[in-house]
Structure 1
Amino acid sequence: MKRRTFLAALPAAAVSPAILRAETPAPAPIWTPGSIQFNRPDVHGGDRPVGASFASRSAVYGLSGAAGSAQPLATLAGIEILKKGGSAVDAVIAINACLGFLEPTGCGIGGDLYALLWDPKKGKVDGLASSGRSPRSLSFETARSRTKNGVLPAYGAVSVSVPGTVAGWWALHQRHGKLKWADLFEPAIAMTEGGVPVAPIIAHYIGRAMANFAKPGMGIEETENARKVWAPGGVVPREGDPFRNPDLARTYRLIAQGGRDAFYAGPIAETIERYFRRIGGWLTRADLAAHQAEWVTPLETTYRGIGVQAIGANTQGLATLQMLNILENFDLREAGFQSPLSIHLQAEAKRLAYEDRARYYADPAFAKVPFEWLGSKDYAAQRAKLIRPDRLMTDLRPGTAPSHGDTTYLTVADRDGLMISLIQSNFRGMGSGLVADGLGFMFQDRGQLFSFQPGHPNLYAPGKRPFQTIIPGFATKDGKPWLSFGVMGGDMQPQGQTQIIVNRADYGLDAQAAGDSPRWHHEGSSESMGEDAGDEGPTGLLRLESGVPEATRTALIGMGWTIGASDGGFGRYQCVERIEHNGERVYAAASEMRADGTALAY
């Protein structure tokens, strides 16, 4: 059976042409001068002799450690840190620092960080939240005056919140580091100074970002530093072009020498304050100095006996747990892998969970978020009763509470049993477009996710954390660590995490095949912030990857789904699995076939 062509003989429902609003993109050229681009639907990957026919590769196995990230050189740097005696935390910091250079389109020290971590000494999962707050001098009235259709702009100083990444690294290292702090930055500094060829997907998204920064309304003075770093001389790097960032190398050296204080209270903070004062922004050294990473207790549920953990705080982590709780009320194995009923039930669970996401999720320091009620099995059972197996729900509302984008994901495990699941992001379009003089990194634009609906728990306020989309994933079995995993990509993250758990628990796929399996992505749920709000109609748009059987696609249309074209927005996945083999621990590492990532083990 050919890769990506399977389960083709599923029963089809009657099709109404009026229901289908599929978006059909124009065919891409088979070859474009100056690049290698193929659009050959008749060409498939070679057949696999074992495992799922659609898997892109085998999982990678090792006894001593494993790592997966969005860039091969970053993963390799992490493995080398482990080999030097570093902990999984040491390796994850080194990888993340490398990714700030190798993958500036998804992450960097101008963004935020969350992590879930299995602590073998405690025998439990810990959570770390390092999400920055809005500038305290940016008033609600000023912020609202900059909105358009109730949403802050993606670019510019008004959407910048305090970067939390370096504080997150520091907190992790203080508790779990083995190597010296400065040693962790050596691989990234060597890359930024020596140069690395630009990966295909990174070249594509740098080009898109630079084009956006050149659009009318973006101040030349505001974005000139970004263009100097990523389009020197006005030339955007192409796939394979050597690229360097000496400004970022100098910044990393300051952090390596001065720790977190170099960023939040020292020379970097001073440069940041001067820059925002110069361009008319609001972020100050006092805002930076006030930031602290927080160790938090993760939210948790069970799915078919598997423990699934998530970050609560101001993230959408609860949505994964809500979806799984709803789906536990249905027999997905009986429904069948990649069947119309299976995808229908999963997408309907998403729609229900995301109504609550839009209504309740916010910074719990400013609003009472009913985590316990929303994550309960009883509430999920009530919501599951709203789902019909043969057609869409048409009247979707959030539950009534009792009275009382652009991201990188990485994971590492070490010889001591420490496993860390970490996600880090600048948010949409590389971030705000703003780069402080000589620092070489872009500030995030997370403030765009604040709501401006009166009375909403995610309503903008000075010194408040905006709603966050980035969420690490973790799962346990019988009280022991099992999966450290994540799926990047804005509102796709809970949907992608749920599909990974369903593929493992209900359909028995291994770590690699579970990520390679064709995915669905539903767009158009209720929104109260500037994330993924669109005009997809009352029931939204269900996008299916090309590997989903045509019979399944046809049957879903018959159920009333509006099917959209595959747009490549199905997330990117990394995973490290812990397996007990005759009393000996084995790690299996898996990576995403849709992007540039690599998983390694040793």
Structure 2
Amino acid sequence: MEPDLDRFTSRRSTVYGQRGVVATSQPLASEAGIAMLREGGNAFDAAVAAAAALNVVEPTSTGLGGDVFALYRTADGDVGAMRACGGAPADATIANVRAALAADEGVDGDEPGEVEMPATGTQTVTVPGTARGWEATAERFGEFGLDRLLRPAIRYAKSGYPVSEVVADAWTQAETLFETDHAREAYLFDGESPSVGQRVTLPRLGDSLERVAEAGADAVYTGEIGEAIAEEVQAAGGLLTVDDLADFEVEWPEPVSTTYHGAEVYELPPNNQGLIALEALNIAAEVGAGEYDYDAPERVHYFAESLKLAFHDGHRYISDPEYEAIPPLSSTAWARRRAAEIGERANHDVGFGVPDANAEDADTVLLTVADAAGNVVSYINSRFAGFGSGLVAGETGIALQNRGSSFSLDPDHPNRIAPGKRPFHTLLPGLLRFDEDDWAAFGVMGGYMQPQGHLQVVSNLVDYGMPLQRALDEPRWRYRESGALAVEPHIDGSVGAKLSRRGHDVTTLPASRFGGAQIARWRDGVLSAATEPRKDGTAQGY
């Protein structure tokens, strides 16, 4: 049963700090980040420490077997991005993957659509980027090495911690996902997922984190852990090799951005879905969505229709840019043309265009940090849907991601699988510049909720001037793959009825389906942060 968040009233307030602020979806992870700041580290150190801790205290959403990304503004005023995102194995041609899947399913696989990319399983495993991403962040920007930054995570894994409510609910997935004895032993306790408040240890994962702390990321990519990952995948019929792991490198792409009502919004470029958020903001600006009263149904209608068009375009074009050309989706000229298609009623001629329905309700972890020097970091770490592929690498305790499920076996699809190709990626850290001395790191977790959440949180802050915590507390909406417009139970009932009269297929979903946001702000030396009321987390100041 999902936690009862249908009727919540956030009693939290925006948190302030003098030396630093950290916001995460789990209190113990926030404490790990604050500990690094107290010891003399900066926002980047705190981000890595908190992310590593989340691998342990929220293993249902993230892990060493996944990817990690960042958007940041440094104390020197530089704006940048980090992408540690692995691609498909070198042998992952359409023909090879189709043949492997067909053999598993006992069919020929020659007919179009006879086999498709599954949601889980060995063919969905892509090269994990997490360990290299942590190391690159610490080496380029941090004060400490991984030997120090991973200490809290190792302590939680080996000494134990009590499981929080939302995490306990998500953990039940492991009972049916994990099939091998070593996977079930790593994440189940007497064959069952932990209950709320149960104290658990993850000693195998703790051992792997210790190896990374001692030897660096090479432990994962060229050492024993990497060998265990490759052996696990290949034993299940997959194509990933130790060479695929050894060849992986972190990237530092230029962020993409747009100006929305005077504020500069930064997102990650493709293969991530940041262009969807930017296009939606540009279209919304064209149709004046943020000019209506906050409780007006017109506000939701015009924002939602802007998002619908952006989703259609993003899911049609966004892919790995090294393999596919991508049009200028974030340009104002593009938005102007698309805005002309929006009217007073819902447009049902534009499909959502989901490249992978498995991502609709996927979850992850995003954390935000700011320090007194002016470093502001949005950091997101995930293995995609829950515990990922269902594979755990030998005795390492590392659950492997299923990000490859976003690939297609259709040779004409922009996200068709290819050797080394990175899949369409949902992960979206965000960065917001209000003015030269006012920056916020933010993000909204949860598969295809992420750009929808970015649109709503940015508007709450920029159009309506909300305090940080209220900007996260306000009721949300989201488009579904079915075309329905979902709203939270605590939204004004008259708004839903009026949206229905505009032609929207309005449905109500539990609040837990509307993402998990974090935000941290540096405003001329004043630090503030807020956390998601729909999650277990906390924002802490120091």
Aligned to 1:348: 305
Measured after TM superposition, the shift of residue 120 of structure 1 is 2.1
Aligned to 1:511: 468
Equivalent pair of 2:289/2:303 in contact (CA under 8 Å): no
Deviations 1:496-553 (A, max 9, x none): 01000111111121110000000001112xxxxxxxxxxx2xxx11110122111111
Aligned to 1:236: 193
Equivalent pair of 2:146/2:212 in contact (CA under 8 Å): no
Cα separation, 1, equivalents of 2:5 and 2:308:
33
Q: Of 123, 138, 159, which residue of structure 1 is paired with 2:92? A: 138
Cα separation, 2, equivalents of 1:450 and 1:465:
9
Equivalent pair of 1:160/1:445 in contact (CA under 8 Å): yes
Instruction: Point out the more displaced range, 227-236 or 275-284.
Output: 275-284
Cα separation, 2, equivalents of 1:455 and 1:258:
43
Secondary structure of the structure 2 residue equivalent to 1:114: strand
Secondary structure of the structure 1 residue equivalent to 2:131: helix
Measured after TM superposition, the shift of residue 135 of structure 1 is 1.0
Deviations 1:139-180 (A, max 9, x none): 311323428776411221100000001111111111111023
Aligned to 2:495: 552
Whose radius of gyration is greater, 1 or 2?
1
**Quick one: which amino acid aligns to residue 39 of structure 2?**
K
Aligned to 1:530: none
**Quick one: which amino acid aligns to residue 586 of structure 1?**
V
Equivalent pair of 1:151/1:448 in contact (CA under 8 Å): no
Aligned to 2:163: 198
Aligned to 1:86: 41
- Does residue 129 (structure 1) correspond to residue 83 (structure 2)? The answer is yes
Structure 2: tracts of 5 or more residues without a match: 103-112, 354-361
Aligned to 2:106: none
Cα separation, 2, equivalents of 1:521 and 1:274:
40
Aligned to 2:530: 590
Cα separation, 1, equivalents of 2:409 and 2:240:
20
Instruction: Point out the more displaced range, 71-80 or 334-343.
Output: 334-343
- Does residue 286 (structure 1) correspond to residue 251 (structure 2)? The answer is no
**Quick one: which amino acid aligns to residue 541 of structure 1?**
A
- Does residue 262 (structure 1) correspond to residue 219 (structure 2)? The answer is yes
Measured after TM superposition, the shift of residue 262 of structure 1 is 1.3
**Quick one: which amino acid aligns to residue 132 of structure 2?**
A
- Does residue 484 (structure 1) correspond to residue 441 (structure 2)? The answer is yes
Aligned to 2:109: none
Measured after TM superposition, the shift of residue 232 of structure 1 is 2.9
- Counting only pairs closer than 5 Å after superposition, residues 107-506 of structure 1 correspond to structure 2 as 107-121=62-76, 123-145=77-99, 146=101, 151-213=116-178, 220=179, 223-370=180-327, 373-388=328-343, 390-396=344-350, 405-506=362-463
Alpha-carbon spacing, 1:385–1:37, altered in 2? closer, same or farther (3 Å): closer
- TM normalised by structure 1 equals 0.84
Equivalent pair of 1:97/1:185 in contact (CA under 8 Å): yes
Cα separation, 1, equivalents of 2:513 and 2:232:
34
Secondary structure of the structure 1 residue equivalent to 2:32: helix
**Quick one: which amino acid aligns to residue 88 of structure 1?**
A
Cα separation, 2, equivalents of 1:92 and 1:161:
24
Equivalent pair of 1:410/1:574 in contact (CA under 8 Å): yes
Q: Of 563, 570, 591, which residue of structure 1 is paired with 2:514? A: 570
**Quick one: which amino acid aligns to residue 446 of structure 1?**
R
| Number of residue pairs matched by the alignment | 522
Equivalent pair of 1:89/1:176 in contact (CA under 8 Å): yes
Equivalent pair of 2:132/2:217 in contact (CA under 8 Å): yes
Measured after TM superposition, the shift of residue 333 of structure 1 is 4.4
Deviations 1:17-71 (A, max 9, x none): xxxxxxxxxxx9xxxxxxx987996xx75xxxxxxxxx53110001210001111
Equivalent pair of 1:130/1:168 in contact (CA under 8 Å): yes
Alpha-carbon spacing, 1:149–1:475, altered in 2? closer, same or farther (3 Å): farther
Aligned to 1:601: 541
Cα separation, 1, equivalents of 2:372 and 2:500:
49
Structure 1: tracts of 5 or more residues without a match: 1-27, 29-35, 46-54, 214-219, 400-404, 525-535
Aligned to 1:97: 52
Cα separation, 1, equivalents of 2:3 and 2:253:
46
Equivalent pair of 1:406/1:430 in contact (CA under 8 Å): no
Measured after TM superposition, the shift of residue 302 of structure 1 is 0.3
Aligned to 1:10: none
Cα separation, 2, equivalents of 1:165 and 1:84:
24
Deviations 1:316-345 (A, max 9, x none): 011110000001113334421032100001
Cα separation, 2, equivalents of 1:139 and 1:330:
43
Cα separation, 1, equivalents of 2:6 and 2:322:
52
Equivalent pair of 1:140/1:461 in contact (CA under 8 Å): yes
**Quick one: which amino acid aligns to residue 308 of structure 2?**
R
- TM normalised by structure 2 equals 0.93
Secondary structure of the structure 2 residue equivalent to 1:93: helix
Measured after TM superposition, the shift of residue 455 of structure 1 is 2.1
